[in-house]
Amino acid sequence: MTTVPEFEEHEGYLFVRIPPCDSVEQMCANAKWIATECHARGFSKVLLDTLLITNLPPAGNLYEVGARCADLLVDHLKVAAVVCAQATSSDRSFENVLRNRGINYRWFLDAEQAKQWLVKDDVPK
């Protein structure tokens, strides 16, 4: 099984399949890799498939991951994550940490809804 993210370029966004992660360091390394690939490929929108992640770290560790990832994703990225249903409580906490630090991040249970949110143009009001 792979331990590195898989990247696919799509019209208007970068699709990233995240492998199972078993540590804070691995999750943060994936975030850094994603930010680097987005910059190198010229993408500002990311669709994450996190369905392979079934064992999340404790909430305190997720807070640390969120805080560290927010520092890596400051390049004005818009990120939609597709998560498994049993992870929703933890993912909501992770989403809040990122959003509180200015990252345009949302999680979804449905990939099509995630894609629709991601590709819609956000016009400042």
Q: What's the pLDDT at 94?
A: 80
What is the per-residue pLDDT across 99-124, written as a single tens digit (0 to 9) for each? 888 889 998 999 999 999 999 976 44
Tokens standing for residue 60: 């305190």
What CA–CA distance (Å, rounded) separates 1 from 100? 34
Residue 1 lies in a domain: no
The per-residue pLDDT for 125 is 34
Q: Indicate the residue type of 72.
A: L
Phi, psi of 14 (to 5 degrees): -105, 125
Contact between 83 and 52 under an 8 Å Cβ cutoff? The reply is: no
Residue-wise pLDDT tens digits, 34-65: 999 999 999 999 999 998 887 777 777 778 88
* CATH code: domain of residue 66: 3.20.20.120
Which is nearest to 97 in space by CA: 73, 116, 117? 73
* Residue 97 reports pLDDT greater than 90: no
Confidence of residue 14 (pLDDT cuts 50, 70, 90): very high
**What integer pLDDT is reported at residue 124 of this predicted model?**
42
pLDDT higher than 90, residue 24: no
Strand 45-49 relative to strand 78-82, pairing: parallel
Which pair of tokens denotes residue 23? 């540590």
Residue 91 clears pLDDT 70, i.e. is over it: no
Q: Which domain holds residue 10?
A: 6-118
Instruction: Report yes or no on 51 lying in a domain.
Output: yes
Q: What pTM was estimated for this model as a whole?
A: 0.86
Helices marked H in the chain? 24-41, 59-72, 88-100, 111-119
Are 59 and 90 in contact by the 8 Å Cβ rule? The answer is yes
Give exposure, 67-98, as e/b (b: 16+ Cβ within 10 Å): ebbbebbeeebbbbbbbeeebeebbeebbebb
Look at residue 123 and tell me if it is in a domain: no
Does some domain include residue 33?
Answer: yes
Domain count, the chain: 1
Q: Is residue 125 part of a domain?
A: no
Q: Is 19 inside a domain boundary?
A: yes
58 inside domain: yes
